[in-house]
Structure 1
Amino acid sequence: MRILVVGAGAIGGYFGGRLLQAGGDITFLVRPRRAAELASAGLVIRSPTGDVTLPNPPTVQADALKEHFDVVLLSCKAYDLQDAVASFAPAVGPQTAIIPLLNGMRHLDVLDAKFGREPVLGGLCAIAVTLNDKREVVQLQPMQSLTFGERAGGSSDRVQAIFDVFKRGNFNASASENIMQEMWEKWVFLASLAASTTLMRAPVGVILAAPDGKEFLLGMLDECSSVAAAAGYAPGGPFFQRVSGMLTTEGSPMTASMFRDLRAGLPVEADHVIGDLVTRADAAKVPVPKLRIAYTHLKVYEAQRGG
């Protein structure tokens, strides 16, 4: 099975690297600078589960992409989605499956509009990973998983075939029969955490220690959950209990990656992760005052950053 990994940054580099390490037929679609880095230093993964250096991993650049692949693993940031779609489009043939690992749902509309609904699976990952100043992939915690499945629910031969390959990567791959529910639940958690920590410019534990901090965090979670429920994907009891516990752990250093990006002056996925929830809330007439303030705050940040 030929797999094209779009990008060799933190997420693509980790999951693609683990598949390559396991003997998978992996090619990374990268820009010229990243291609040069990988040719020189290899793809280096630093991880609590084991370091690895993969010399000269297979790469291709967009202008040389001519052949179709069986799977396209898409792990770009939302603000790079349009460019990514244009770059990997030649790799998509009649039998290609696209597995996007972006947060939220907005990217599904973009991919469906370009390729049709049939090739596009649902997908999500859970991992804390970054690129260091040496351009090495650094896993920050011993946690990694990649989940995917048919958006209509149930299983399929193609999902099973992909799973048979992914499970060799030793990153807790799973084939879900209810991937849309899982994607919505991750979105609810991520948006709650991102909106709260970016708005307050602090990790969960610091927010909790402030007056009404607990009420603020759980209120944000309630708002995001209400949007999911209006869309027909109400977060389940075990999920809500688990996430509520994570958001009410005293002294927790937990923040969202969006918070870390904001602190570093980097682009953020304001529209994709927060704004799209506000839009859906408005359409469903669900009040989300806290989420709306967080979105306004992020758009002010983007305006100042752009200026």
Structure 2
Amino acid sequence: MRIAMMGSGAIGGYLRVRLARSGEDISFIARGAHLQTIRERGLRLLSPLGDVELPGAYATANPGDVGTVDLIVFAVKLYDGEAAAASMLPMVGPQTRVLTLQNGIDSMDMLSRLVPRHQVVGGATYISSFLEAPGMIRQVSGVTQIYAGGTGDPVIDQLRSACVRAEGVDLSVVEDIGPILWKKFVRLSAFSGGTSLMRAGIGKIMADPESQKFMEQLRDEGIAVAAAEGHPMPPDFSEETAGLFGALPSSRDFASIPITLRGGPTLPISGCSRGAQMRPSSVPRTVFALTRILRATTIRSWGGRSMPLVGTRMLSKRSAIRRRVDPAQSAISPPRSRDWVVSRKPAT
């Protein structure tokens, strides 16, 4: 099977290294210093499951160089999604499947504007990794779980077989990926927004009573939005989420946005922010209030472009606020202002 990794960073790069043992024909689509390093020295994975080096991996910045493939793993950051989707088209044939592992709930709809809907497969990953340096990916927990829709799809079945032959990829194929995407959406909205806003790991946040209450409000408001959109969370969701937050290792108990704030090239406004922002249902008052407070606060990316910092921008369409949420369920009681004021010196 011919596979193309559209995006070779934290997730795409991880999968490429792991799947090398499967014997499949896999190409990288990468760019910049990361691409140059892969070409010159290969790709290195630092992992608690064992470090792996992958020399001689094929990588290019031009999808047209690859040609038609059987499977595209779409793992680019959300701010690059539409441009990447357009550029991948030379690799798409009539039987190609596009498996999107982007965060959020709108990736399949976005891709379906360019690729026939039946060729787009939704997925979610719980692998915790990040791009530490060009050509180097660090995995910080032993979780290797990926979910994909497409039960009975021959291409996804081949991918599952490849994951079995490889090590470090636990792929589960489900009939309906929707509930899994929504559960991750709600969790990541609170997790990403809270750790970014307070510049702290979830462990420290949950240890403080005020901050813990704030995180619970973000979670509960996300639950309310999901329910208003016809995707209610299961009864044990809140308890399960608290357990997941508490089980995260201290080395990785924050989202990717805080890493970017410490020195990344571009601020990724969370897909968990973007997805619900345009939805015509209820909007959390807490998130909306923080959006207003932080609207004047900007950070400057390495490219010199000013960008608003609001990982919690999720769900902030003013005209729809509280359309279907009881105001009594959305009382605002955020941490003290000194705990979550955001600042960063502009890059020079």
Please report the TM-score for the alignment, with normalisation by the length of structure 2: 0.78
SS in 2 for 1:131: strand
The equivalent of 1:215 in structure 2 is 213
Report the Cα distance in structure 1 between the residues aligned to 2:290 and 2:53, rounded to whole angstroms. Answer: 40
The equivalent of 2:52 in structure 1 is 52
The equivalent of 1:75 in structure 2 is 75
The equivalent of 1:242 in structure 2 is 240
Higher percent of residues as helix: 1
The equivalent of 1:259 in structure 2 is 258
The equivalent of 2:184 in structure 1 is 186
The equivalent of 1:169 in structure 2 is 166
The equivalent of 1:268 in structure 2 is 267
Report the Cα distance in structure 1 between the residues aligned to 2:231 and 2:292, rounded to whole angstroms. Answer: 26
Superposed displacement of residue 2, structure 1:
0.7
Contact kept in structure 2, 1:28 and 1:58, CA below 8 Å: yes
The 5-angstrom pairing of residues 124-135 of structure 1 reads 124-133=124-133, 135=135
Contact kept in structure 1, 2:63 and 2:90, CA below 8 Å: no
SS in 2 for 1:39: helix
Contact kept in structure 2, 1:214 and 1:248, CA below 8 Å: no
Unaligned stretches of 5+ residues in structure 1: none
Superposed displacement of residue 300, structure 1:
4.6
Report the Cα distance in structure 2 between the residues aligned to 1:104 and 1:91, rounded to whole angstroms. Answer: 24
Cα RMSD after superposing both structures = 2.6
Q: 2:197 aligned to 188, 196, 199, which one?
A: 199
Q: Which moved more, 1:247-256 or 1:5-14?
A: 247-256
Q: Which moved more, 1:130-139 or 1:65-74?
A: 130-139
Contact kept in structure 1, 2:95 and 2:119, CA below 8 Å: yes
Unaligned stretches of 5+ residues in structure 2: 307-348
Report the Cα distance in structure 2 between the residues aligned to 1:92 and 1:31, rounded to whole angstroms. Answer: 20
Superposed displacement of residue 249, structure 1:
7.7
CA 1:194–1:271 in structure 2 vs 1: closer, same or farther (change >3 Å)?
closer
Taking only the aligned residue pairs, the percentage that are identical comes to: 29
Please report the TM-score for the alignment, with normalisation by the length of structure 1: 0.87
The 5-angstrom pairing of residues 269-288 of structure 1 reads 269-270=268-269, 272-280=271-279, 283-284=280-281, 286-288=282-284
SS in 2 for 1:93: coil
Report the Cα distance in structure 2 between the residues aligned to 1:82 and 1:127, rounded to whole angstroms. Answer: 23
Superposed displacement of residue 137, structure 1:
1.4
Superposed displacement of residue 247, structure 1:
4.4
Code of the aligned partner of 1:183:
L
CA 1:298–1:161 in structure 2 vs 1: closer, same or farther (change >3 Å)?
farther
C-alpha deviations, 1:66-114, integer Å up to 9, x for none? 6211000011100111221122110001000000111002222221111
Code of the aligned partner of 2:178:
M
Q: Which moved more, 1:216-225 or 1:264-273?
A: 264-273
The equivalent of 2:153 in structure 1 is 156
